[in-house]
Amino acid sequence: MTITTATPTGSLPHPVILWIAQLRAWVFLCLLIIFFEIWARAAEGSSFVFNLYNIQSIAVFATAPLLLALGQTFVIISSGIDLSLGFVMGLSSVIAAHASNYFMVRYGVPPFAAMLLAILSGTLVAFIPGLVNGLLIAHLQIPPFIGTLGMYGVARGAAYLFAGGMTVAIDNPWFSAIGNGRIYGVPVLVIITAVTCLVMHYLLSETRFGQHTYAFGASKVAARRAGIDIKRLTLKIYLLSALGAGLAGAMYTGRFTAGAAQAGEPLLLDSIAAVVIGGASLFGGSGTIWGTIAGALVIAVIQYGLVFINVEPFWQFIAVGAVIIVSVLVDQTQRNLTGGRQVE
């Protein structure tokens, strides 16, 4: 399925170029892995990628920013942005921790059920900021940047209030197992994130909701003329994005056995970077879940790989920044080559 997000200039590029351009985040990821593999073999005499331990570590590392980035992909495709996600995740993390403790201590609910209730509460509490974001943006015409920035502050304050300025420790072996356990050697976190990716991919590429999101991002006026209920659509997009952050918050609590208000603060920019590296345009109308997954992996591989090959810490900052810039330059080149054509 192909859509045109910009007017193609001149003749159509060769199909192979088009195809490679669309997979550019994955190509980039492969190049990075090859680079680290060569370096690791030359300098350390060990393999970087043929090493289950490294693969697992990177996969777990990528889960948290990826869970935020999945929802953010929808928002960015709709030409919006959700800056509240980091602290929505923190709020959910704190609420999930409290819920686990509350149900276990107050009602004597067994740990497994308390864990389910905690994940549910953590995820559902994100419904509130998501709903408010959506209402502000859809009905009151507040620009997404401003509306979600306001919610960034509100969610942050609420999270710290609920946490009393501290971290909220949990004592629930099942909850901890969700964050740290493995099934047939695969970390549970990775499984949960993979399933979420599949659901999000289905929503974006196979449903009317997903197609409307592309149409809305490409041209608001055209989407409206085509009879799409754009208010309802906007509301759904911001709800979905907040729910993703809610799930990320609950997972954080399980993994670190404590809820923390600042859990997602450093992840927000990583999540936006992942979406952009993955090929979405900040102007809306293009982007895919597969691209976002590659984008999140690119960030995780760089940060993990630089430590693995023992790059001096200050150089790591420079390297990560440079890779983001290069990635956006590649994006520009792709758009020039393909006239913005892209497969969903």
Residues engaged in binding other proteins (CB under 8 A): 44, 46, 51, 53-54, 56-58, 60-61, 64-65, 156-157, 160, 164-169, 171, 180, 187, 252, 255-258, 260-263, 266-267, 300, 303-305, 307-310, 312-314, 316
Judged on CB neighbours under 10 Å (0-12, 13-18, 19+), 114 is buried
> 267 or 289: whose CB is closer to other proteins?
267
> 72 or 338: whose CB is closer to other proteins?
72
Q: Where are the beta strands (DSSP E) in the chain?
A: 2-3, 168-169, 182-183, 186-187, 258-259, 342-343
Residues with Cβ within 8 Å of 272's Cβ and at least 6 positions away in sequence, in order, are 69, 72, 76, 81
Rounded distance between C-alpha atoms, residue 109 and residue 100, angstroms = 9
> 143 or 164: whose CB is closer to other proteins?
164
Rounded distance between C-alpha atoms, residue 243 and residue 120, angstroms = 10
Q: Give the nearest distance from C-beta 69 to other proteins in angstroms.
A: 13
Q: Give the nearest distance from C-beta 254 to other proteins in angstroms.
A: 11
Rounded distance between C-alpha atoms, residue 3 and residue 5, angstroms = 6
Judged on CB neighbours under 10 Å (0-12, 13-18, 19+), 277 is buried
> 235 or 263: whose CB is closer to other proteins?
263
Q: Give the nearest distance from C-beta 127 to other proteins in angstroms.
A: 24
Q: Give the nearest distance from C-beta 122 to other proteins in angstroms.
A: 17
The sign of the CA dihedral 179, 269, 238, 221 is negative
Q: Give the nearest distance from C-beta 221 to other proteins in angstroms.
A: 40
Q: Give the nearest distance from C-beta 83 to other proteins in angstroms.
A: 15
Angle at 271 between CA 98 and CA 140, to 5 degrees: 80
> 310 or 336: whose CB is closer to other proteins?
310
Q: Give the nearest distance from C-beta 208 to other proteins in angstroms.
A: 35
Q: Give the nearest distance from C-beta 212 to other proteins in angstroms.
A: 33
**242 pairs with which residues across the strands?**
none
Question: Which residue, chain included where needed, has tokens 């509100």?
Answer: 154
> 96 or 223: whose CB is closer to other proteins?
96
- Give, in order, the Cα–Cα distances in Å from 72 to each of 20, 102, 258: 24, 31, 25
Question: How do beta strands 182-183 and 186-187 pair?
Answer: antiparallel
Long-range CB contacts for residues 317-322, cutoff 8 Å, separation at least 24: none
Q: Give the nearest distance from C-beta 255 to other proteins in angstroms.
A: 6
> 6 or 311: whose CB is closer to other proteins?
311
> 257 or 292: whose CB is closer to other proteins?
257
> 35 or 209: whose CB is closer to other proteins?
35
Check if the beta carbon of residue 109 is closer than 8 Å to that of residue 103. Answer: yes
Rounded distance between C-alpha atoms, residue 8 and residue 12, angstroms = 7
Question: Which residue, chain included where needed, has tokens 């907040």?
Answer: 242
**142 secondary structure, DSSP code:** -
